[in-house]
Structure 1
Amino acid sequence: MTITATPISPRFGAEISGVDISKPLDAETVQALIALQDKWGVTMYRNTGLDDEGQIAFARNFGHLESLPPREGRPRIYLFNAGNLTAEGEINRSPSAMTYRKGDQIWHTDSSFMDLRTSYSMLRAVEVPASGGPTEFCDARSAYDDLPQEMKDKIANLQCEHSLLWSRKQGGADITHEMIMERHRPVHPLVSPHKGSGRNMIYAGAHCYRVVGWGWDESRALIDYLNAHVTQEKYQIKVDYAVGDMVIWDNLAVFHRGGQFNWDERRDMRRATVRELPAPPEGDDPFGELFKTMPKIEPVKA
């Protein structure tokens, strides 16, 4: 078996071929795929042949899976809905659901609003709308490399608060700063070392709320500058999907955002996500508690 990585751009992103990820993989193959992920940040696998159970089994090769705890009559959930369908398979026309998804269309890193961050996200296409709906990525490691040394020195030891409510407010949700301040806001380094490659990334994006110890205006000026720097066109790629394709991205190396599509068309995308180390014990994932205490995401009324 020869695994091949075909670059999507010279600096990051590659399509992987030569491996059947719908079958059990030996340790050597898993390590080879992780090494390619560390190098490229974004990897695309075409026509995977994966179903839900296969996606979960493949994702477990990369670490501890995020999950939602079981409820009455519902087992533990390992795949997250990243499309526009309800649990019954109908297009979700709820204003709150549509507003929530608008937040996904702003550049971000998955789950930076959690104390233990997401490392890998694995998004599989089950139904694809004719209008598209690509995922766009930008290279936060190369963006850090290209910063002036003066800026690198300035941000080297800074910490930032992160908030899911803040990104949803930017997407048009009716959320106040008081609501954000009432809730826990995890703190993460603004410069994050990437263990797999030894490179630094700018760890910001739409969930990044403010710099610890700084005033609001000063915080936002810096975070907005860095987000604009990372998301320049020269650092971007995008991937389009056919049914059965799956893309993996490393949230500790890249930003991403969902692409535009026609909400009247069905889009079924399922995401498995892997926590950074050290992982929490199985059954002790705080996602359930977070979303249980979240206010309803409603659009701002005109």
Structure 2
Amino acid sequence: MLETGVPAGGVGTDQASHDRPRATPAIDLLEGRRSLRRLPGDGPERCHGDYTAVTVTPVGVTLGAEITGVDLSAPLPAEVRREIHRALLEWKVLFFPGQHLDSAAQRAFGRLWGELETNPLLEAGDDPSVVRFAKGGAGRQTYENIWHVDTSFRPAPAMGAILRMVTTPPFGGDTLWADMGAAYDNLSDAVRARIDDAVAVHDMVPGFARFLDAGKLAELADVFPPVTHPVVRIHPETGRRTLFVNASFTTRIVGMEPAESDALLRHLFAQAHTPEFQVRYRWAEGTVAFWDNRATQHYAVGDYGSHVRVAERVAIAGDAPF
């Protein structure tokens, strides 16, 4: 039995489970309580000063807010840019409805936060920094319906990403984000002690093996060899401890036996599934989302069948996690 509060084989029961004491859960489920803080030291009701240049409307407790009163296709005054950045740190994923940007305006907005990544693993649009997700219909079905952190297989994963919705299906196609600071806060003391100084391997191969032929996969594996990152990273701007492993790309914890590593990673991956740590957003055409890739994971729901969903994304280059 690991000190995660779950059996080494993962969450589950067997026929003898009723004959032995129940394990203490890693997360305190008493009365369904969770620690839900947006930033270090917060309670869920705390606000971090008034926003005067934009209107911020929360859509979740710890993450997710709609931003209105701004035109992203026009040059942004410095105060507007500062307030958007402050809102990003506080709410971790921002939604800008009714924007209808073109690719050039999307790139210009992204460059306000840094250089844009290029990603040869994904289909690019007219510009190599713009990734086009066109799913459904007769084409490729979705493959983003797994919890993941964008480009965590890079030595310096993306700081953030900006997605604009081009075409929405008549139903489905929502995206969920999970607050990985809240996920860390709600781990047991025993689990935090095990992972606070641990490092894990991140590898692009497991996440893309289903979608690339063997030759292309081997070629890209040479370009993106496995890297190691802290299991718990410290957010470079808020200072918050954040769980930094994901089911797409994290393969093992360094220094642990394979069975022990696998069991602990399964437990850590499962934290993104907790509804209290999530926000789910229903897209409309023209909506733009901007998320902090250092603080969240996300999951694009593939529930729109043969209908078409088209979106374009730019990612902002980040720093090495510490």
Relative to the length of structure 2, the TM-score reads 0.74
Identity of aligned residues (%): 29
SS at match of 1:83: strand
Alignment match of 1:52 (pick from 95, 103, 106): 103
SS at match of 2:106: helix
2:163 aligns with 123
1:295 aligns with none
1:292 aligns with none
- What do residues 203-246 of structure 1 show as CA deviations (whole Å, max 9, x unaligned)? 01121111112222111111110111232122111111111001
SS at match of 1:217: helix
Partners of 1:108 and 1:257 within 8 A in 2: yes
CA distance in 2, matches of 1:263, 1:52: 27
* Alpha-carbon distance, 1:262 to partner: 2.8
Partners of 1:84 and 1:263 within 8 A in 2: no
CA distance in 2, matches of 1:272, 1:19: 20
- In the alignment, structure 1 residue 154 sits paired with structure 2 residue 194: yes
- In the alignment, structure 1 residue 238 sits paired with structure 2 residue 280: yes
* Alpha-carbon distance, 1:275 to partner: 1.2
More displaced stretch, 132-141 vs 74-83: 74-83
Unaligned runs of 5+ in 1: 86-90, 279-302
Alignment of 1:248-267 (within 5 A): 248-267=290-309
CA distance in 2, matches of 1:149, 1:36: 30
2:114 aligns with 63
More displaced stretch, 18-27 vs 179-188: 179-188
CA distance in 2, matches of 1:252, 1:84: 26
Partners of 2:53 and 2:80 within 8 A in 1: no
- What do residues 35-79 of structure 1 show as CA deviations (whole Å, max 9, x unaligned)? 11011111111011311111010110111101258xxxx975121
Alignment match of 1:14 (pick from 65, 68, 76): 65
SS at match of 1:82: strand
1:189 aligns with 230
- In the alignment, structure 1 residue 202 sits paired with structure 2 residue 243: yes
Q: Which amino acid aligns with 2:308?
A: R
1:114 aligns with 154
Partners of 1:156 and 1:190 within 8 A in 2: yes
- In the alignment, structure 1 residue 229 sits paired with structure 2 residue 284: no
CA distance in 2, matches of 1:277, 1:63: 11
Q: Which amino acid aligns with 1:252?
A: R
Size of the alignment, in residue pairs? Answer: 260
Partners of 2:165 and 2:283 within 8 A in 1: yes
- In the alignment, structure 1 residue 134 sits paired with structure 2 residue 174: yes
Partners of 1:41 and 1:249 within 8 A in 2: yes
CA distance in 2, matches of 1:150, 1:4: 41
CA distance in 2, matches of 1:55, 1:173: 28
1:216 aligns with 258
More displaced stretch, 58-67 vs 20-29: 20-29
- In the alignment, structure 1 residue 36 sits paired with structure 2 residue 87: yes
More displaced stretch, 224-233 vs 117-126: 224-233
The structure-2 alpha-carbon separation of the partners of 1:266 and 1:75, relative to structure 1 and needing over 3 Å to count, comes to closer
* Alpha-carbon distance, 1:163 to partner: 1.6
RMSD over aligned Cα atoms: 2.6
* Alpha-carbon distance, 1:166 to partner: 1.5
CA distance in 2, matches of 1:83, 1:141: 31
* Alpha-carbon distance, 1:27 to partner: 2.6
CA distance in 1, matches of 2:148, 2:119: 21
Partners of 2:163 and 2:290 within 8 A in 1: yes
CA distance in 2, matches of 1:63, 1:190: 25
Larger Rg: 2
CA distance in 1, matches of 2:76, 2:187: 39
- What do residues 144-164 of structure 1 show as CA deviations (whole Å, max 9, x unaligned)? 112222221210111111122
Relative to the length of structure 1, the TM-score reads 0.79
